Structure 1
Amino acid sequence: MNKYAALFRIRFIHTLQYRSAAIAGMATQFVWGMMEILAFHAFYQTEASAFPMTIQQTVSYIWMQQAFLSLFMLWFFESEIFEAITSGAIAYELARPLDLYDKWFCQSIANRLAKALLRCVPIFAIAFLLPAPYRLVLPANLATFWLFLLSLLLSLGVVVTVSQLIYISTFYTLSSVGVRVVVGAIGEFLAGGIVPIPFFPQPIRQLAELLPFAAMQNVPLRIYSGNLQGFDAGRSLLLQVFWLITLLLIGKWWLKKALKRVVVQGG
């Protein structure tokens, strides 16, 4: 266990060094978030009661989404993992006394957390100072905040387990581009990354809330904003746990199967 903790620490510290990229990303996310809020606000001004979330819930949803984007984005991958698989350097990884799945998992978690830490604080500092209704507000109570943190960690786990499946698929396809584009586009939409899931038409919403993508940013952001409470919040957390365990087991089984057919040629 110590070796994985050391790997996590090394990766986390390494990613924290890229401050210029973090500043650029933070500025982009703040501007994008503000544009989204202004667009939603224009619709709310027509008839606010027609929407499934209040304007303040939607604003909080968007700001938290932008602050923790690196934890949620399905289109962010570790390029060195793809390169190791396609170039044959995976042979060196297999020679190390580390479980390959666990190594990739720790690496991805550390990188995403470090990126989120660098970007979220400046966004919060500005978003909490904006005038209403554009301001980010705190959760209704402390219990909701702790529930949000638990859901956020589960969400990160589900995102990484889905990413692991895309890495493993490269053993079979040799090119990850197609899978990355398809999963990134579909997953981002069904996770509530473009429009929150409550805005979906009812039949599509009911289906989307059962899929693993809904166990990503949809649940923690709606809990924080106050849109998901009580029994519905508890059920969503259980679905997060279910999908995390299920995808984790599938990923480990699939990687073990894929490694049996790996052939590395060299001079």
Structure 2
Amino acid sequence: MRAYVSVWKLRFINGLQYRASAIAGAITQLFFGFVFIMIYIAFYSHSTAHPPISLKEIITYVWLQQIFLSFIMLWARDNEMFDLITTGNIAYELCRPIGIYPLWFAKLLAQRVANAALRCLPIVLVVFFLPEPYRMTTPPDWPTLFFFVASLLLGLFVIVAISMMIYISVFWTLSPTGSILMISIAGEFLAGMIIPVPLMPDWLQRFTYVLPFRWTVDFPFRVYSGHISQTEALWGIIIQVGWLGVLIGIGWAAMRKALRQVVIQGG
């Protein structure tokens, strides 16, 4: 375990050096946040039906997406890990006296946390001081904040476990493009990143509830705003833990199978 913690620290520190990129990313995320909120304001102002989620909750939902984008985006990629497989340098990883699955898991986790650490604070310092209706609200109470933090962190682990499937698939496809496109596009839509889950048709909502993607974005963000009650949040956290165990178990088994059949590309 100490070896994996050391790998996490090294990758985290390495990720903190890209400060200029983080500032540019934060500005871009603020811009897109304003664009999405203006669209929802226009939508709500012309809607006559009672919405399943309030405009204020939607605005908070959008800002949380931008603040924690590094946590939740499925299209993030580590080209170094892809190159290990496609160039044959995976042989060096196989020589290490540690497991590849937890090693790569630690690397991906550190990369996302480092990116979020650089981008979160600048966005937070802006969105809490914006004029209405663009201002982000705080959680209703302290227990809600606790459930949000717990669900957000579990969602981060779930998203890394899903991302590991993309890297493992390259052992067979030898190209990450297809896996990234299929999983990221479908996953982000079903997670509620394109349209919040409460605004989806009922049949599609039921479909999202039986898949793991929704528990990485929609669930923690609606816990924050109080749209999901604390009792539901507790049950949701238990489901997140269950999905995390399932995804890690499947990923670990798939990695072991891939390594038994691996062909070292490049000689």
Matches within 5 A, 1:107-186: 107-186=107-186
Contact 1:154 1:241 in 2 (8 A): yes
In structure 2, give the amino acid aligned to 1:205. Answer: Q
Q: Deviations over 1:33-65 (max 9, x none)?
A: 111011101111124752111111011110011
Q: 1:263 deviation in Å?
A: 2.4
Equivalent in the alignment of 2:39: 39
Kindly provide the CA deviation profile for residues 137-189 of structure 1, in whole angstroms up to 9, marking residues without a partner as x: 11000000010000011100110001111101101111111111011110010
Q: What's 1:5 paired with?
A: 5
Q: Identify the residue that residue 240 of structure 2 maps to in structure 1.
A: 240
Identity of counterpart residues, as a percentage?
43
- Mind listing any 5+ residue stretches in structure 2 that lack a counterpart? none
Displacement of 1:229 in angstroms is 1.1
Q: Over residues 62-92 of structure 1, what are the superposed CA-to-partner deviations in whole Å (9 max), with x where a residue is unaligned?
A: 0011000000000002111111001000000
1:199 is matched with 199
TM-score when scaled to structure 1? 0.97
Structure 1 residue 266: Cα displacement: 5.5
Please give the alpha-carbon distance, in whole angstroms, between the structure 2 residues aligned to 1:210 and 1:238: 14
Give, in angstroms, the shift of residue 225 of structure 1. 1.4
For 1:50, what is the secondary structure of its paired residue? coil
2:188 is equivalent to residue 188 of structure 1: yes
| Distance (whole Å) between structure 1 residues aligned to residue 16 and residue 48 of structure 2 | 41
* Alignment of structure 1 residues 78-97 onto 2, 5 Å: 78-97=78-97
Equivalent residues of 1:129, 1:135 under 8 A apart: yes
Query: 2:105 maps to which residue?
Result: 105
Size of the aligned set, in residue pairs, is: 267
Read off the aligned partner of 1:131 and give its amino acid letter.
P
CA distance in 2, matches of 1:174, 1:263: 10
Indicate if the aligned counterparts of 2:52 and 2:198 stay in contact, CA closer than 8 A. Answer: yes
Q: Residue 264 of structure 1: CA displacement? A: 2.0
Question: 1: CA distance between counterparts of 2:216 and 2:255?
Answer: 22
Code of the residue aligned with 1:71 in structure 2: it is F
Higher mean alpha-carbon deviation, 67-76 vs 236-245, is at 236-245
In structure 2, the partner of 1:76 is 76
**Could you tell me how far apart the structure 2 residues matched to 1:132 and 1:53 are?**
18
CA distance in 2: counterparts of 1:49 and 1:6, whole angstroms: 54
Q: Which secondary structure does the structure 1 equivalent of 2:204 belong to?
A: helix
Distance 1:82 1:252 in 2: 17
Deviation at 1:237, TM superposition (A): 1.7
**Aligned residues of 2:147 and 2:230 also touching (Cα < 8 A):** no
Per the TM alignment, residue 216 of structure 1 is displaced from its structure 2 partner at its CA by 0.8
Letter in 2 for 1:257: K
- 8 Å Cα contact 2:71/2:116 also seen in 1: yes
Matches within 5 A, 1:45-64: 45-47=45-47, 50-64=50-64
Query: Which amino acid is 1:264 matched to?
Result: I
CA distance in 2, matches of 1:178, 1:203: 27
Over 3 Å counting, the alpha-carbon distance change for 1:142 and 1:48 in structure 2 is: farther
So what's the TM-score if we normalise by structure 2?
0.97
Give the drift of 1:6: 1.0
Superimposed CA distance per residue, residues 184-219 of structure 1 (whole angstroms, 9 cap, x where no aligned partner): 110010000111101110111011122111111111
Structure 2 letter corresponding to 1:54: S
Tell me, what secondary structure is at the counterpart of 2:261? Answer: coil
Structure 1 alignment gaps of length 5 or more: none
Partners of 2:70 and 2:116 within 8 A in 1: yes
Q: Structure 1 residues 266 and 135 mapped into 2: Cα distance closer, same or farther (>3 Å)?
A: closer
- Match of residue 217 from structure 1: 217
What RMSD in Å do the two structures reach over aligned CA positions?
1.2
Amino acid at match of 1:68: F
User: What CA deviation, in whole Å up to 9, does each residue of 1:209-267 have, x standing for no partner?
Assistant: 22111111111111011111133323322221111110000000110011001122656
Deviation, 1:23, is 0.8
1:27 aligns with 2:27: yes
SS of match in other structure, 1:138: coil
Q: In the TM superposition, what is the alpha-carbon distance from 1:3 to its structure 2 partner? A: 1.2
